[in-house]
């Protein structure tokens, strides 16, 4: 039995529709929901939380039909990008807010709050008011308030997006620790792939109110079902044809290039290569198990704290990623010739 099961869920909000959403989540899953802006990620989360009435479809939590339950009866907590803490209450009272509705024993309340405050490293802040806290501390408080009631589901809508890179990284570690300790099942909407790599075991990709692909992180990143998903997650997808085997590896013809893959396949196939799996070198490196191609750097773009390179590999467009430091030490400019080196284990045959 699925822990959370969404069946044929549709919602009509006038100008926006959520269409036939089907989703199964296991207990302990950490599911990230990604997709372009306006694709319905927040609406889906809010519907699971009970804020929108479905036009059709059902939501089950631990086998119980919760489709018509009011939000406060669903045993879920939601954390948003802005921290929505009560400004006049202390951190302790903020965290205690929902818990007091569940338990009356004051000692037990203090015990639970002390425990979550320790896990999230805010024990020293319990007497403070929210406006004296940093963004990261406020978000840890919001998380503590959400987790202390031991929700069946923790829903998070871009919880770290207002924070700087370092604070985000620290928060990811604390979230990981907290959800392990509390054995929480999480649905997390994000635009940041570091959240996906760092936290999730599953991903949902949405567009126009529909789920395009759902699967393990590896499946979605290495085996995107359609080109939109591939582009969205940055995976290079190439069309090719299998030529046969060579030393246990599969030879695939893509344009004028021949790539070697560890995967098996037949006939016409799609290949995937992750941008971070492409090694860039100014000089050729001779090894037997690797694919090595002379390319031209067409374009260099800064995206977040990484550099994206668009390479032209004999007419084939390849996206790859470097850190600004690596780009600087390689001394690469647009128009330069470079070698792209890809291990056969990183050339995946989608089928
Ligand atoms: N209450 C509402 N009534 C009608 N339309 C709405 C309502 N709330 C949101 N929408 C619309 O539904 C669409 C999906 O919104 P949603 O907030 O779920 O997008 P999102 O995927 O979370 O985007 P973002 O990444 O920008 O947060 C948007 O076009 C939005 O304008
Ligand atoms: Mg949103």
Question: Which of 33, 41, 157, 205 should be mutated for ligand 1, with most atoms under 8 A from CB?
Answer: 41
Alpha carbon of 111 to those of 90, 122, 167: distances in Å?
Answer: 17, 14, 27
CB 209 less than 6 A from any atom of ligand 1: no
DSSP symbol at 12? E
Measured in Å, residue 13 CA sits from the centre of ligand 2 at 15
Alpha carbon of 190 to those of 65, 204, 223, 280: distances in Å?
Answer: 27, 11, 20, 29
* β-strands 185-189, 30-34 pairing: parallel
Which protein residue's CA is at the shortest distance from atom 17 of ligand 1?
42
Which protein residue's CA is at the shortest distance from atom 4 of ligand 1?
13
179 φψ region: left (φ > 0), alpha (ψ -120 to 50), beta (else): alpha
Superfamily of domain 4-223: P-loop containing nucleotide triphosphate hydrolases (3.40.50.300)
Where b means 16+ CB within 10 Å and e means fewer, 95-107 reads bbeebeeeeeeee
Task: Compute the distance between CA of residue 7 and CA of residue 16 in angstroms, rounded to an integer.
Answer: 19
From the CA of 206, give the closest atom in ligand 1: 21
CB 115 less than 6 A from any atom of ligand 1: no
Measured in Å, residue 158 CA sits from the centre of ligand 2 at 7
Task: Compute the distance between CA of residue 278 and CA of residue 340 in angstroms, rounded to an integer.
Answer: 6
Task: Compute the distance between CA of residue 99 and CA of residue 111 in angstroms, rounded to an integer.
Answer: 11
Q: Which two tokens stand for residue 169?
A: 């990284």
Measured in Å, residue 309 CA sits from the centre of ligand 2 at 29
Helix (H) or strand (E) holding 156: strand 153-157
Q: Looking at residue 288, what is its pLDDT?
A: 66
Which protein residue's CA is at the shortest distance from atom 24 of ligand 1?
37
Q: Rounding to the nearest 10 degrees, give the CA dihedral for residues 38, 59, 181, 164.
A: 10
Q: What architecture does CATH give domain 234-350?
A: Beta Barrel (2.40)
CB 16 less than 6 A from any atom of ligand 1: yes
Task: Compute the distance between CA of residue 181 and CA of residue 76 in angstroms, rounded to an integer.
Answer: 17
pLDDT tens digits along 17-27: 999 999 999 99
Domain limits, the chain: 4-223, 234-350
Place of tokens 């997709």: 35
CB 86 less than 6 A from any atom of ligand 1: no
Measured in Å, residue 40 CA sits from the centre of ligand 1 at 5
Q: Among residues 5, 83, 75, 9, which one has the least CA distance to residue 47?
A: 9
Ion ligand 2 neighbours (CB, 5 A) are 42
Question: Which of 16, 37, 39, 204 should be mutated for ligand 1, with most atoms under 8 A from CB?
Answer: 16
Q: Which ligand is nearest to the CA of 156?
A: 2
Q: Which ligand is nearest to the CA of 35?
A: 1
Which protein residue's CA is at the shortest distance from atom 30 of ligand 1?
38
Q: Which ligand is nearest to the CA of 41?
A: 1
Q: Looking at residue 289, what is its pLDDT?
A: 60
pLDDT tens by residue, the chain, 351 residues:
799 999 999 999 999 999 999 999 999 999 999 999 999 999 999 999 999 999 999 999 999 999 999 999 999 999 999 878 999 999 999 999 989 988 999 999 999 999 999 999 999 999 999 999 999 999 999 999 999 999 999 999 999 998 888 889 999 999 999 999 989 999 999 999 999 999 999 999 999 999 999 999 999 999 999 999 999 999 999 999 999 998 899 999 999 999 999 999 999 999 999 999 999 999 888 776 679 999 999 999 988 778 999 999 999 999 999 999 999 999 999 999 999 999 999 999 998
CB 204 less than 6 A from any atom of ligand 1: no
CB 42 less than 6 A from any atom of ligand 1: yes
pLDDT tens digits along 32-63: 999 999 999 999 999 999 999 999 999 999 99
Q: Looking at residue 290, what is its pLDDT?
A: 75
């Amino acid at each position: 039995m699925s822990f959370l099961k969404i069946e044929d869920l549709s919602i009509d909000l006038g100008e926006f529709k959520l269409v036939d959403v089907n989703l199964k989540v296991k207990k302990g899953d950490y599911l990230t929901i990604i997709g372009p802006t306006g694709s319905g990620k927040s609406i889906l989360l809010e519907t699971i939380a009970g804020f929108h009435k479905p036009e059709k479809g059902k939501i089950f939590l631990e086998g119980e039909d919760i489709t018509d339950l009011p939000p406060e009866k669903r045993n879920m907590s939601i954390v948003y990008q802005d921290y929505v803490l009560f400004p006049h209450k202390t951190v302790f009272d903020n965290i205690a807010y929902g818990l007091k509705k569940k338990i009356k024993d004051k000692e037990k309340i203090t015990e639970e709050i002390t425990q979550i405050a320790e896990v999230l490293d805010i024990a020293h802040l319990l007497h403070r008011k929210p406006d004296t806290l940093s963004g990261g501390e406020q978000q840890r408080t919001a998380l503590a308030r959400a987790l202390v009631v031991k929700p069946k589901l923790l829903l998070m809508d871009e919880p770290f997006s207002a924070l700087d890179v370092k604070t985000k990284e620290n928060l990811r570690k604390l979230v990981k620790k907290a959800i392990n300790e509390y054995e929480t099942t999480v649905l997390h909407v994000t635009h940041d792939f570091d959240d996906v790599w760092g936290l999730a075991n599953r991903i949902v990709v949405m567009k126009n109110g529909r789920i395009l692909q759902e699967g393990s992180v590896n499946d979605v990143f290495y085996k995107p079902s359609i080109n939109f998903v591939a582009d969205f997650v940055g995976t290079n997808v190439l069309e090719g044809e299998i030529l046969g085997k060579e030393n246990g590896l599969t030879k695939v013809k893509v344009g004028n290039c021949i790539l070697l893959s560890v995967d098996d396949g037949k006939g016409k196939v799609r290949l995937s290569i992750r941008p971070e799996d492409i090694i860039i070198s100014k000089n050729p490196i001779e090894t037997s198990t690797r694919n090595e191609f002379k390319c031209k750097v067409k374009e260099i773009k800064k995206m977040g704290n990484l550099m994206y390179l668009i390479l032209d590999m004999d007419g084939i467009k390849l996206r790859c990623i470097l850190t600004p430091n690596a780009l600087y030490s390689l001394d690469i400019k647009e128009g330069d010739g470079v070698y792209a080196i890809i291990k056969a284990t990183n050339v995946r045959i989608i089928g």
